[in-house]
Amino acid sequence: MFPQVVPAGLDRPEAIAWWRRDDGDNEAVAATPTSRVAFASLVAFTGILLLSPQIWFPILGVLRIAFLAAGLAIAAHLLQGLAHHPPTPFSPEVGIAIVLVCWSVITLPVSYWPGGSVNVLTDHYVKAVVFFWLIGTLVTTTSRLRVFAWTLVICSIPLAATALHNYLSGVFLTTRVPGVQRIYGYHGGSGIAGNPNDLALMLNLIIPVAAVMMLSARSAAGRWLAAAALALCAVAVVVTFSRAGFLTLATTLVLFVFWLVRRRAPGKAAVLLLTGLLVVPYLPRGYADRLSTITDITADRTGSAVGRWNDYQVALGVVAHNPIIGVGIGQDVLAMNEYRGVSDWISVHNAFLQYAVDLGLPGLVLFLWLYLMCLRSARGVERRSAHEPALRDLAHLAAGVQIALVAFGVAAFFHPIAYQFYFFSIGGLAVALKRAYVTESEAAVVAESQES
């Protein structure tokens, strides 16, 4: 057991017992060579996931670098557990994610297309959940959280730069509607930022992280780097002409203004809000018309707004006919084709409805539970760390993750991303925050007891 002498701000029993492990010293374990290899491999995998270097250098695809990085992270972590102590216990969030995967497996026999469901499960969902587990398990200290956060921020720069390059160079998708132009995503359709909507989503999830890294940077160079990434990402979201991207970006702006006010920094909040208002006259031509279709869907000349609204209604009809078992993971397209009577081959653009259609109401409830648990964890760490100077960086990171999770919740209403990496990357950070909080709290307890 840990010492019971508790420093100021941690004197309530739940502050330490809120989430803790009883099987060893997190910080000592994090310092082992095996753990360092596992964490470095996780960081490498994150960079590969975001930037897809194998697209630029095909030989890397032959070497399967993403598989190698993930495999090395898992192997090194398991070896660490065997060599030093029992494996790290699953957090409640990871447990819920595993139950979701198990429920997906249970529904396979009644899937509209069992083979297709197996492919979605093995090619996407299981990998995303493993990534979620690795982040929550290996990112156990504030310093590791900062490294992981900087990885996201740095990787966002080429993603955002690609969006701006495509816009300025006129690299547009064919929309078949005169006057309506959308840029290509990252490298013309590859990776998790391959189309403009996914690119806007990924950048929107990183923007809160970049903002808190700017506020907590330990050098002027770090502040400028994070600020540059933040500005670049915001501009890139705009030039994607993604309506969901705009709504998510606006949500992030409002949440940060409230957060700054709550932190008694009204000056910074005013500057942020004023900056947002000042850029309005400089928005790209046609952007306001694009946004107007959010409230007037019939004005959308591409027909996508009306089509998505109709798909929501079709999806609700599918759920009403298959409320418990669903139609099988990843099979909303087939089910909706049947219920529409037309083969559109388009997934419902709503992650929550995807879970309800594919995995029934139990799947939706499990995902909502997982989402809210991650949000609660991030909020809990921010609240407990806010008044401790030693935990200032952790409080900032918790706020950024919390805002990113809310941003995901907004974006999820407009994206078919239920089984992709987007949520699980940010949700994993919420789990990691709890582990880092315990590590830092225990270090403070030990330091206080030694001084006594």
Mean pLDDT, rounded, of the chain: 87
Q: Is the pLDDT of residue 392 over 60?
A: yes
Q: Which two tokens stand for residue 263?
A: 């932190």
Q: Which pLDDT value is given to residue 82?
A: 72
* Window from 15-29, 366-380, 405-419 with minimum mean pLDDT: 15-29
- Residue 374: which of 135, 203, 169, 147 has the closest Cα? 135
Write the pLDDT tens digit of every residue in 46-61: 999 999 898 888 888 8
**Stretch 193-214: mean pLDDT, rounded?**
95
For residues 209 and 285, the model is more confident at 209
Q: Which pLDDT value is given to residue 370?
A: 98
Long-range (24+ apart) CB contacts under 8 A made by 248-255 are: 248/200, 248/201, 248/204, 248/407, 248/410, 248/411, 249/200, 249/204, 249/207, 251/406, 251/407, 251/410, 252/204, 252/207, 252/208, 252/403, 252/404, 252/407, 255/208, 255/403, 255/406, 255/407
**Stretch 16-28: mean pLDDT, rounded?**
46
Q: Which two tokens stand for residue 224?
A: 């400028």
Q: Which pLDDT value is given to residue 280?
A: 86
Q: Which pLDDT value is given to residue 22?
A: 42
Q: Is the pLDDT of residue 304 over 80?
A: yes
Write the pLDDT tens digit of every residue in 336-372: 999 887 777 889 999 999 999 999 999 999 999 999 9
Residue whose entry in the numeric block shows the structure tokens 């297709």: 116
Residue whose entry in the numeric block shows the structure tokens 């909080």: 437
Per-residue pLDDT band at 20 (split at 50, 70, 90): very low
Strand, coil or helix: 433: helix
Q: Which two tokens stand for residue 247?
A: 């709504």
pTM: 0.90
Q: Residue 342 phi/psi, 5° resolution? A: -135, 140
Q: Is the pLDDT of residue 3 over 90?
A: no
What residue ranges in 100-250 does DSSP mark as E strands? 172-173, 182-183
**Stretch 123-133: mean pLDDT, rounded?**
95
Nearest 10 degrees: Cα torsion 236, 239, 241, 244 = 20
Q: Is the pLDDT of residue 24 over 60?
A: no
Q: Residue 279 phi/psi, 5° resolution? A: -80, -10
What residue ranges in 130-185 does DSSP mark as E strands? 172-173, 182-183
Q: Is the pLDDT of residue 25 over 70?
A: no
**Stretch 302-317: mean pLDDT, rounded?**
88
